[in-house]
Structure formats: C-alpha cells, structure tokens
Amino acid sequence: MLFRKNRKRFHEQIQLNTQQEITGQKGLLSSDLDENLHVFHSIYQDCMDVVFRTFLIGGQTRAVLIFIEGLSNLEEVDDNVLAPLASETEGKVRPRELLEKKIHISKMKEVKTVTECIEYISVGFPVLLVEQEMVGLALGLCKWEKRSIEEPQAESVVRGPREGFVEALHVNTSLLRRKIKSPDLKMKSRKIGRYTDTHVVIAYMKGLADQTLIEEVENRLQRIDIDSVLESGYIEELIEDNPYSPFPQLINTERPDVAAANLLEGRVVILVDGTPFVLIAPISFFSLLQSPEDYYQRFLISSAIRLLRFVFMLMSLLLPSLYVAVLTYHQEMVPTALLISMFSSRETVPFPALVEALMMEITFEALREAGVRLPKQVGAAVSIVGALIVGQAAVQAGLVSAPMVIFVAITGVSSFMVPHYTQGIALRMLRFPIMLLAGSLGLLGIMLGVILIVVHLCGLRSFGEPYLSPIAPMKKNELKDSLIRAPWWGMNKRPHLTGEYNPYRQAPGQKPNPGKGDES
C-alpha cells in the first residue's frame, strides 16, 4: 500500500513538473523585449544571484544581458560585449549585423526558446536579448571557480603522472584528450538529474570498445530518472549489475592515466560533472588488484608486488578468522613452542578468542573511520588513543592478548594493500561474518564462508563480463595481466573482453635483444 501511495504521489509530481514547463518555459522568445524580460523576471524571482543588465546599443536599441554572478567572466563581458556595443555610434544599423561585427567571441550560440536561455544562463553563459529580435545570443564567457589540477589523494604512486581529475567536467575531458590524441576517442554527453541537470559523459574508443557494451551503458544511463547527481556514486548504484553485492562492479579512479589505459583496453569511462571520480566498466575482480604503478615499474617487481598484494588481500579477509579457528579448534596446527607462548599471553584474557577478535576488529574499524573523518587538528589525539590505549594498555590490562593485537594490526595493514578503497572495504566487511563462522565451525566454517564468497563472485557480472575472468572462465592469454604483470613486449594482445575486432595492440617481436638482432 505504501508503495502504491508513493507511486501515485510520484506521478502527480511528474504532472506538476511538466505543466510548469509547458506554461512557463517552453515558449519561444518574443520580439518584444519587455515581454521577454517579464518572463525571465518571473522565472528568476527571488534569485539574487541573477543579474539583469539593461543597456542601449549605440544609444538607441535597448538590450539586456542576463547572467549569473560568479559563473560568468565579468571582465570579458565588460571588454568584449558592453564596451564595444555601448560605444557604438553608427546610425541605423540592424542590431543583428552589428552584433556579428562587434562581438569577438569564439563560442557563441543562438537561442530561440526560453528553455534554451535558461539552460545557457545556468551553465554561466551570459545571454544577450535585443529589442525587436526573436533570437537571443548565448555568449561563451563562462568562468567559474575550480580547483587546479592536483595530485590525486586517494591513489598515489611513486612513479607515474601526478595529475588528477578535478571537479570540472571539461577539464577532465581535456585531460583525457591530452593522453589520447586519436579522434577515435569518442565522448557522448547526456544530462541526468531533474534539478541538477548534471552533465554525464560516456567516453570510449571507437573500434576498441564493443558496440553492444556502449549501447548497454547508454541504455542503463537512459533509464536513470533521479532528481540529482552530485557524485558518480549515484550513477554507479543505478547502473550496477548486482545491487546487493558487496563488491564494486565499476572502478572509480581520479587518475587520467588509469582512465586512458582502460579506454585503450576497450572499456568505457563515465565522467560525471562535479566530481573528480570517473567510473570505469566493465571490470573484473583482478582489475581491482591492479595499481597504475604496476605498469610503470619494471615487470618483475610489479609481478612480485601483485602477488604480495593478492596474498595480503586474502589475509585481510581471513587472518583474524584463522586465528580464532586455530585457537578454538585446531591448536595442533601451531608448533608447540609457539602455542605455549600464545596461550601464556592469553592466560589473563577473560574472553574467548572469538569475542576478543571481534572486539579488536570492531575497534580497529572505528579507529580507521574516525581517522578518515577527523579534523586535522585532533589527528594526534586519535593516533595516541589508537596506538597507546588500544595497543599497549589493553594488553597490559589483560583485556586482549598481545598476539591478537599483532594479528589485528597485520589485518589492518593488509586491507590497505588493496589499491582500490571500495574493494578493500568490501573485504573488510566480509571478514566479520567469516569470523563468526570460524568461531562456530572452525576451519570448516571459514571454508564454507570462502566458498560462498567465491560462488557469489563466480555468478557476478560487470556489464555482462564475468567478474572472475580471466581465471574463471579461464582465458589463457589474459592471465599475463592478472596475478602477474607480463612485460610490455609480451602483451601483444588486448584483453578479450572488449578488444573483439582489434585484438593486437602492438607489433609483435619487440623484445629488446641488443647485439643479436643487427648483424651489420
């Protein structure tokens, strides 16, 4: 019942909105300037940031410039529009020709309807309306405050480009275009959000990305009818394959180089205005374990680090549960000397291993979360509390055992080894149910939990692409870039998932062999 009621209300709302559009904004501009002004005044009633600047062209023809304060470049407007037009002294010239002669702006659009006018005004284009003209002019003089390009905070590298996406969409597209100069890089734009009217751009490489994939992405974006899009997370949740999965089915990144590399492997990048995080689809489980730096460092080292990352990813999921299971059910697995020292440190601890582990892990998660949200000034306080009280004092007080603190610390560190925060957090959350299973069924419980996760991952898809490829289903060629990273001269083929009809990314046989190749 509740749903039905909501739906009814929702439909009423739609009718309301559309009605408003028809009466108020869909109309054409009139030739009477006063009538136009009246319309705009009523639309922008109580909007103190909208400026109506009335002036005379050449001292005769009335004109008005509408813009929003702070979105338009006022100096440019003064120098290139107001000054030349107002100082015009020629007699009876048709204003239209005059405008074309006098205003020197590279980006200028003719607008005919009120809706169009509003659209341009709200992105920062000053709109010029002239007496006796049915057509207004939107002048491309927008300029709003934006952050300069900085190093991405969430994904830092030792070696690699230091630039990151910013909040302004056109800066982000230009960053991509600077990396990929080919005109095959296509960007399609659409607007999502009833109130925010946010620009969303789908970028892909023509000829590399699968056509059906692009259509699928467009269809899913088409379906979205939401009142606002303030971050790409809104979009992500609305176009996922399995909304209940804890695992992310799209990567987000702040790095143009990551976005470009994924475009070149035939994936689709979705850029959203107002956020530095762009979305990449489709992905697999293993692309979440890849850091951009893997491709910039020497391949042997990258491969070793990837394997290390994989091992620690498993540890971040399983280590506390293994500790609980071993201490509760499988003491014989631990060598005797170690077991004795472990149990002697647990002697004073009043809790069973499971409670101890849960307590410590939850505390750790709280410390981590507090650390993220913390104002910088109180940062020291939390680290003192975290390190001294939880680490040292709790052990001395006999509330937790020292080995437990070690394991929690290792788990915490290993969960940050996963390069993508969204996946790291998914694994961190999953370790709690596994801990409970370990406390009740030991290693069997852990295995049942792991099997459940693997089965879930096996059934998961990201835009139709199996999440565990290339391991399951097995694709031999792509194993080169999953758990290890093959050298560049060894990866002649693009990943199968998208590079269907352009499989080769480079000429074969580029392995350097100085002194052997040229006999001259």
Partner 1 sequence: MIEKGKISAFQMGVMMYPGILATAILTVPSITATYAKQDLWIAPIWACPIGLLIVLVFLQLHKHFPGKNIIQYSENILGRLIGKTLGIYYLFFFLHNSGFVIREYAEFIITSVLPKTPIVLVIVGMTLVSAFAVKGGVEVIARSALVFLPLFMFPLLLMGLMVLPEMEPRNMLPVMGNGIKPSLKGAFFPIEWYGDFIYMSFLLPFLKDEKGGKWGMISVMAITLTMVITNLTTIFVFGGSTTELLYPVMNVFRYISLADFFEHVESIVIAVWITGMFVKFSLIYYALVLGVAQWLNVSDYKSFVLPIGFLQVIFSIWVAPNFQQMGQFFTTAGSFYFPSIQIILPLFLLFVALIKKKYKDKSPKSSIVQ
Residues 278, 272 contacting (CB under 8 angstroms): yes
Nearest to 142 by CA among 117, 122, 124: 124
Binding flag, residue 452, partner 1 (CB under 8 A): yes
Binding flag, residue 311, partner 1 (CB under 8 A): no
User: What is 206-259 written as a DSSP string?
Assistant: TTTS-HHHHHHHHHHHHH---S---SHHHHHHHH-S-TT-SS-SSEEES-HHHH
Q: Of 50-58, 143-151, 367-375, 471-479, which segment contacts partner 1 by CB under 8 A?
A: 471-479
**Closest CB to partner 1 among residues 385, 448:** 448
Q: Of 196-204, 274-282, 353-361, 464-472, which segment contacts partner 1 by CB under 8 A?
A: 464-472
- Report the nearest approach of partner 1 to the CB of residue 374 (Å): 39
What is the sign, positive or negative, of the torsion defined by CA atoms of 508, 511, 512, 518? negative
Binding flag, residue 479, partner 1 (CB under 8 A): no
Binding flag, residue 458, partner 1 (CB under 8 A): yes
Q: Kindly state the number of chain residues that form the binding site for partner 1, as judged by CB under 8 A.
A: 27
From CA 138, how far away is CA 123, in angstroms rounded? 11
Contacts of 30 (CB under 8 A, 6+ apart): 36, 134
Binding flag, residue 468, partner 1 (CB under 8 A): yes
Binding flag, residue 315, partner 1 (CB under 8 A): no
Quick one: how far is CA 185 from the chain centroid?
A: 19
CA distances from 14 to 7, 160, 190 (A): 11, 49, 20
Q: Of 75-83, 274-282, 435-443, 478-486, which segment contacts partner 1 by CB under 8 A?
A: 435-443
**Closest CB to partner 1 among residues 343, 489:** 343
- Report the nearest approach of partner 1 to the CB of residue 220 (Å): 21
Helix axes 421-459 and 402-415, enclosed angle (nearest 10): 80
- Report the nearest approach of partner 1 to the CB of residue 497 (Å): 15
List residues bridging with 190 in a β-sheet. 200
**Closest CB to partner 1 among residues 126, 470:** 470
Q: How many CB atoms lie within 10 A of CB 372?
A: 8
Binding flag, residue 183, partner 1 (CB under 8 A): no
Among 248, 412, 445, 499, binds partner 1 (CB under 8 A): 445
- Please give the residues from 331 up to 360 whose contact with partner 1 meets the rule CB under 8 A: 332-333, 335
Binding residues vs partner 1 (CB under 8 A): 329-330, 332-333, 335, 441-448, 450-452, 454-456, 458-459, 466, 468, 471-474
